[in-house]
């Protein structure tokens, strides 16, 4: 497995299993099987309502805790809950997480970030991050943070490479973790002629070529699936490397196209919504 080195000198695998929109049963199965086949990064969140299931999958994999990199996210309704981090750890069945995010720039998000900093200092979070913080939000946080985050998780793919955001990230060596890495499954992206051609050249699928592009961009990528064959295929991307010329051709696809555009009204809803966590 390839790793990226973070600004606190810790390491994170370049590809992991995402669990967004997976039911608890599917999340448990996907995490268990992914870890058995060679993954070591698992990404979840309070809002996914499958943290307990991810914890069960981790235990069922048979891997040692230190061989698994677990990231999760505090939801906006938890930012002012002083027990949010401990409750998150309880659901996961862990003493610490490798990476703890705040999930959205909603509600009192600065209180949420202070919780991350406290968790980092105490060792309950080995690294910290921000999710969906772009533009004015990362600019505001930049003025207030006491500990620079190690990660940001945002939408990124060949149609939208986050050029502007990366100017700030590069300044602090903050790593980017991609969601919607395949353009939310958009066939027009996956079937771009360059990905089809490169797939034939390297004996890979177009999706595998795109995932490899992410890792060569320096991004960490977390495609999610409940299909074991897809999970295995997504991992099988590290035995080839795109050339500089190929990366340059792919760069021409960047057209600023997003698949998700958040509104101010949604941020208000995020601040008010309370996840109904799994009981067991």
259 catalytic? Reply is no
CA atoms lying within 13 Å on the CB side of residue 123: 1
State the Cα angle at 74 between 68 and 80, rounded to 5°.
145
Q: Which of 39, 48, 113, 159 is catalytic?
A: 48
Query: What phi, psi does 13 have (nearest 5°)?
Result: -60, 150
C-alpha pair distances (Å), 65 with each of 40, 53, 88, 150, 243? 10, 16, 16, 21, 36
Find out whether 24 and 169 touch, Cβ atoms under 8 Å: no
β-bridge mates for residue 70, sequence order: 42
C-alpha pair distances (Å), 150 with each of 120, 153, 169, 184? 11, 10, 9, 25
CA distance 169 to 153: 11
C-alpha pair distances (Å), 72 with each of 41, 142, 174, 179, 270? 11, 22, 17, 14, 17
H or E element that contains 87: helix 84-92
Residues involved in catalysis:
48
């Amino acid at each position: 497995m390839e790793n990226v080195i973070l600004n606190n000198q810790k390491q994170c695998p370049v590809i992991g299993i995402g669990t967004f929109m997976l039911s608890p049963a599917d999340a448990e199965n996907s995490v268990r099987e992914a870890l058995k086949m060679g993954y070591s990064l698992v990404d979840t969140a309070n809002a996914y309502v499958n943290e307990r299931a991810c914890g069960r999958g981790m235990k069922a994999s048979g891997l040692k805790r230190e061989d698994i990199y677990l990231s999760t996210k505090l939801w906006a309704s938890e930012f002012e809950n002083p027990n949010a981090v401990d409750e998150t750890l309880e659901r996961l069945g862990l003493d610490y997480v490798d990476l703890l995010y705040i999930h959205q720039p909603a509600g009192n998000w600065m209180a949420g970030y202070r919780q991350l900093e406290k968790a980092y200092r105490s060792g309950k979070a080995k690294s910290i991050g921000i999710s969906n913080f772009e533009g004015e939000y990362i600019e505001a946080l930049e003025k207030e943070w006491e500990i620079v985050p190690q990660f940001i998780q945002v939408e990124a793919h060949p149609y939208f490479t986050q050029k502007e955001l990366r100017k700030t990230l590069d300044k602090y060596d903050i790593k980017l973790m991609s969601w919607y890495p395949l353009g939310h499954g958009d066939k027009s992206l996956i079937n771009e002629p360059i990905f089809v051609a490169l797939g034939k050249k390297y004996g890979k699928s177009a999706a595998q070529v795109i995932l490899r592009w992410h890792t060569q961009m320096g991004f960490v990528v977390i495609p999610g699936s409940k299909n074991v064959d897809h999970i295995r295929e997504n991992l099988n991307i590290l035995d080839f490397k795109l050339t500089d010329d190929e990366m340059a051709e792919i760069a021409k696809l960047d057209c600023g196209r997003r698949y998700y555009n958040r509104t101010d009204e949604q941020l208000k809803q995020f601040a008010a919504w309370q996840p109904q966590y799994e009981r067991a």
